[in-house]
Amino acid sequence: MSVPGGVTVTPSVQPGPSASVRQRSDGCTAVILGAAGDLARRKLLPALYQLARAGHLEESFRVLGVALEPGDDASFRQLARTAIQSAIDSAHLDDTILRWMERRLFYISGDFTQAGTFAALGARLEELERVSEGGSHNRLFYLAVPPSVFEPSVRHLSASGVAPRSDDADARPWVRVVVEKPFGHDENSARALNTLVLSLFAECQIYRIDHYLGKETVQNVLVLRFGNTIFEPLWNRQWVSHVQITAAEDVGIGSRGKYYEEAGVIRDMFQNHLLQLLALTAMEPPRTMSADAVRDEKTKVLESIRWLTPETIPTNTVRAQYAGGGIAGETVPGYRAERNVAPDSTIPTFAAVRLYLDNWRWQGVPFLLRSGKRMARRMSEIAVQFHRPPHLMFGHAVGESLEPNVLVIRVQPDEGIALRFQVKVPGTAVALTSELEVSPVSMDFCYADAFGGLTAPAYETLLLDIMIGEMTLFTRSDEVAAAWRVVDPLIRFWTEHPPTDMPSYDAGSWGPSAADALIASDGFSWRNT
Ligand code: BG6
């Protein structure tokens, strides 16, 4: 019998820590390379607006946008206003803040492959810093640029002298360089990029973004695990039967066909977001919450993942592409019919992968990861499923219906944590096994109920951390390389063995049936909630 039950967890402090308790950032000029692009418009400018609204930005803060598109300060201000208005709910739009922001937005147009652009950038920066209120000379360079111009951009940033190297993490004024994914397209290219970047800047200046690490629930994995004593003793192969990590999206690839044809779901989601979720879930307790202590432990986990080989890939992985179909009453095209996608493309938009960790804690525990576009709904979560009770004394019928305990960390939407366990259905007798009925219920903590919807979107958290100089939520070069080492054999195998008949799944479904078969081979099923 399945009576969905819910037990709500009430926080002892309400409301919880709001964004306003966080410290203010250092004043700086945020130079956005690629300021007219999708990332700047959809994420960065709205996040900066929200930080301004929450009072986190200093008076001396400003943005200098740089992009190939012709324009000037006025057109950039208009672009930013439109971007902010379309990203943020009108109830949270405050014209005073918008105008405060606009006064701090500047723009130059230029080609990132040309030294002249960076000479002009340097001159404009100096001019702005001369008239700076509060005198901030800190510089944050955000590389929101396509991979093709990444290399010339960092070379010119350094050679022009606008972004000098400093090995002193406490240096003032500071220079920080923010790098977006994709960081390379395989381990070798990532290593080469790291070598290049580290020949120009110090590691303490480089902030490699994985925006999943800025998500509130993802950060909470560490607090849940190490800020409590009741979970950690169970967090190992003795009690955990398997871990499911899902990042399902209902959207398709949109206008990013060109990028996606090179990336596919493994480079786009697994190499970074999913492996970061796995690392936080599986890592050992770090000595402290310092950036290096946390990154050391995450790297160890990534290095302990058993390599996929041509022999193990066919039975441990599934790939597929979305076919056209209907989602929420809307007809959507299949992947091969999307703009800038080859009609015979074999790039996967969905993958399910079973990984094993060769270490003492997790030996033999399958980590089942899946991600896909155009799935039934947007849902990212980590589900730690525990073993069934070793001895069933409630009779056969009840034994059959007992669901194993699951601890679910809901990354999005509806951020929260739920523990699923069995209870006796009232009125049935525990001693009469023929009568007894049990039902799973959830003990459910929901951020919005507990803390009044105060979770900051990932980019706000990360941008503020960069301006404060906090690196824990950013990835380190060895960690990035270790993650590539996990996915490289799979990408190589799939590229070298394109399917003659590319498997597909209906848009709006939970993926191909082969993914169900993959997890069923361990005796489990996906949580398609
Ligand atoms: C990005 C991927 O890194 O993450 C996108 O490139 C994906 O393809 C996005 O849609 C998902 O992020 P979120 O925060 O919406 O889960």
Ligand 1 atom closest to the CA of 263, numbered from 1: 6
CA–centroid distance, 399 to ligand 1, in Å, is: 40
CA–centroid distance, 161 to ligand 1, in Å, is: 34
Tokens of 434: 């023929």
Q: What pLDDT shows up at residue 326?
A: 81
**For the chain, first and last CA: distance in Å?**
18
For residue 426, with 0-12 CB atoms within 10 Å meaning exposed, 13-18 middle and 19 or more buried, which class applies?
Answer: exposed
CA–centroid distance, 378 to ligand 1, in Å, is: 11
Q: What pLDDT shows up at residue 454?
A: 60
Q: Whose CA is nearest to atom 10 of ligand 1?
A: 249
Mutating to test ligand 1, I would choose from 273, 381, 475 the residue with most ligand atoms within 8 A of its C-beta, which is: 273
Q: What pLDDT shows up at residue 320?
A: 98
187-230 pLDDT, tens digit each: 999 999 999 999 999 999 999 999 999 998 999 999 999 999 99
Output DSSP code: residue 131. Answer: T
**Can you tell me the distance from the alpha carbon of 397 to that of 436, in angstroms, rounded to the nearest whole number?**
9
Q: What pLDDT shows up at residue 135?
A: 62
Q: What pLDDT shows up at residue 445?
A: 93
CA–centroid distance, 190 to ligand 1, in Å, is: 20
Q: From edge to edge, which strands make up the β-sheet containing 175-179? A: 105-109, 62-67, 29-33, 139-143, 175-179, 206-208
Residues in the chain, pLDDT under 70: 1-23, 132-135, 396-397, 431-433, 453-455
Q: Whose CA is nearest to atom 15 of ligand 1?
A: 249
**Catalytic residue numbers, as ranges:** 273
Residue with tokens 């037990």: 7
Q: What pLDDT shows up at residue 402?
A: 83
CA–centroid distance, 250 to ligand 1, in Å, is: 11
Q: Whose CA is nearest to atom 13 of ligand 1?
A: 212
- Using a cut of 0.85, tell me whether the model's pTM lies above it: yes
- 16 SS3 class: coil
**Can you tell me the distance from the alpha carbon of 425 to that of 409, in angstroms, rounded to the nearest whole number?**
26
Ligand 1 atom closest to the CA of 272, numbered from 1: 3
Q: Element (H or E) spanning 306, and its range?
A: none
Segment 416-422 long-range contacts (CB within 8 Å, at least 24 positions apart): 416/217, 416/444, 416/445, 416/446, 416/447, 416/448, 417/217, 417/220, 417/224, 417/444, 417/445, 418/442, 418/443, 418/444, 418/445, 419/443
Q: Which residues pair with 244 in a beta bridge?
A: 368, 383
- Separate counts of helices (H) and strands (E) for the chain: 17, 18
Binding-site residues, ligand 1, Cβ < 6 A: 249, 268, 380
430-478 pLDDT, tens digit each: 766 677 888 899 999 998 888 876 667 899 999 999 999 999 999 999 9
